Amino acid sequence: MKRRSVLKSIGGIGGLLLAPSISFGASSHEKRPVLRIAHLTDVHLKNHLDAPARYARCLHHVQQQSPKADLILNGGDIVFDMNKEQLNTINEQWKLTHHILQQECSIPVKYCLGNHDIWWDENNKGQAIYGKQYAMDQLHLSNPYYSFSKNGWKFILLDSVHLDIDGTWYIGKLGDAQFNWLENELKNTPSNVPVLIMSHIPILTATLMIEDDIVNKWQMLGGDMHTDTAKIIKLFYQYPNVKLCLSGHIHLRDKVVYNGVTYICNGAVSGAWWNGNKRETAPGYGLLDLYADGTFDESYVNY
Ligand SMILES: [Zn+2]
């Protein structure tokens, strides 16, 4: 009896150890999965082109994954567009966003803001209702950048989108206050805690080099990628526990590994704003398995 129960418990442990290697590939048997996350970005939700039903289908697809995702990271451009819209159009987009999430999704969601989640209005500068406040209120965020910890990983969600020097259009950057905050966050995170960073605008991406009709130079806009990339990368270089940076914005999928940090720009849930593929990237979302040792597996899933 004793021997049998010992064997039984060994079998139980063996089963636990074997389970991850079955679902995550034979080479990963030493990794302990701690968290499965779905990275949904650029949903651009509005009631057109069947977007609400297709977004619901995407959410169902995420929830049908086995094992089920523990957390959804929404990378911004949550609603179709707020930039220069009228209040009733903005209200409708957010109402729809809340309704679908409430009806179709039981997984917790954490957000960062995209350029289309900001109510730009150059003619009404200075009024508290404009800017990021509307979206922050909708998402119950007291700050557009923040961090949290879950299952041994640290998550840092950044606010990429800021007005350009001349104040007429946006560029990707952190700004001094946020950069100092990020520096402190990393300084105060134990070196054995792996860090995942999410921004709307990519910190580093190769997708911008895919251009038609290049003659002798590529053109990259400050709104397409962070303009403070070198500064951020230099900071990350001091913290080898920064493992992974997720972004969207380009609606194209790529993966760049630099100095041991993996920068993944995922395709859009909306594809080309609900009009099929953006170039060769189909509508989809990122699915990531995070392990206790700071490694991860990831794939881009077309729903
Ligand atoms: Zn977008």
> Ligand 1 center to residue 192 CA distance, Å?
34
Q: How confident is the model at residue 30 (pLDDT cuts 50, 70, 90)?
A: low
> Ligand 1 center to residue 18 CA distance, Å?
40
Which residues does 15 contact at the CB level (< 8 Å), separation at least 6?
none
AA identity, residue 175:
G
Cα–Cα nearest to 145, from 184, 108, 96 = 184
Q: Integer distance in angstroms from the first to the last C-alpha of the chain? A: 50
The secondary structure of the chain as a DSSP string is -HHHHHHHHHHHHHHHHHHHHHHH-GGGTT--EEEEEEEE----B-SSTTHHHHHHHHHHHHHTSSSPPSEEEE-S--BS--TT--HHHHHHHHHHHHHHHHHH--S-EEE---GGGSB--GGGTT-TTSBTHHHHHHHT-SSSSEEEEETTEEEEE---EEE-TTSSSEEE---HHHHHHHHHHHHTS-TTS-EEEE-SS-SS-SGGG--SS-SS-----TTTSBTTHHHHHHHHHT-TTEEEEEE-SSS--EEEEETTEEEEEPPPTTTTTTSS-BTTBPSEEEEEEEETTS-EEEEEEE-
Q: How confident is the model at residue 261 (pLDDT cuts 50, 70, 90)?
A: very high
Identify the pLDDT of residue 15: 37
> Ligand 1 center to residue 250 CA distance, Å?
7
CATH class of 33-302: alpha beta
Return the structure tokens found at 50.
Answer: 């069947």
Cα–Cα nearest to 77, from 300, 228, 280, 266 = 266
> Ligand 1 center to residue 279 CA distance, Å?
14
Q: Higher-confidence residue: 10 or 39?
A: 39
Q: Is the pLDDT of residue 17 over 70?
A: no
> Ligand 1 center to residue 271 CA distance, Å?
9
> Ligand 1 center to residue 273 CA distance, Å?
8
> Ligand 1 center to residue 144 CA distance, Å?
17
State the residue for tokens 């990707």: 172
> Ligand 1 center to residue 95 CA distance, Å?
19
Convert the pLDDT of each residue in 82-102 to its tens digit.
887 888 999 999 999 999 999
Q: Is the pLDDT of residue 117 over 60?
A: yes
Q: Higher-confidence residue: 28 or 149?
A: 149
Q: Is the pLDDT of residue 114 over 50?
A: yes
> Ligand 1 center to residue 80 CA distance, Å?
8
Asked if residue 143 lies in contact with residue 158, where contact means CB atoms within 8 angstroms, the answer is no
Q: Higher-confidence residue: 120 or 66?
A: 66
Identify the pLDDT of residue 73: 98
Strand 195-198 relative to strand 170-172, pairing: unpaired
Residue list, CB under 5 A from ion ligand 1 = 42, 77
Q: How confident is the model at residue 126 (pLDDT cuts 50, 70, 90)?
A: low
Mean pLDDT computed over every residue of the chain: 89
- 226 C-beta neighbours (distance < 10 Å), count: 24
**What is the average pLDDT across 276-283?**
97
Identify the pLDDT of residue 128: 58
Asked if residue 36 lies in contact with residue 65, where contact means CB atoms within 8 angstroms, the answer is yes
State the residue for tokens 């950044």: 158
> Ligand 1 center to residue 229 CA distance, Å?
20
Q: Which phi and psi (to 5°) does residue 51 adopt?
A: -55, -45
Return the structure tokens found at 75.
Answer: 């990378």
User: What is the distance of C-alpha 157 from the center of its chain?
Assistant: 8
> Ligand 1 center to residue 272 CA distance, Å?
9
Convert the pLDDT of each residue in 145-199 to its tens digit.
999 999 999 999 999 999 877 777 889 999 999 999 999 999 999 999 999 999 9
Which sequence spans correspond to the domains of the chain?
A: 1-30, 33-302
Identify the pLDDT of residue 16: 39
Q: Is the pLDDT of residue 63 over 60?
A: yes
**Cα separation of 164 and 223, whole Å?**
9
Identify the pLDDT of residue 131: 86
Q: How confident is the model at residue 110 (pLDDT cuts 50, 70, 90)?
A: very high
> Ligand 1 center to residue 43 CA distance, Å?
7
Helix axes 176-187, 229-237, angle to 10 degrees: 10
> Ligand 1 center to residue 83 CA distance, Å?
12
Asked if residue 265 lies in contact with residue 281, where contact means CB atoms within 8 angstroms, the answer is no
Identify the pLDDT of residue 86: 84
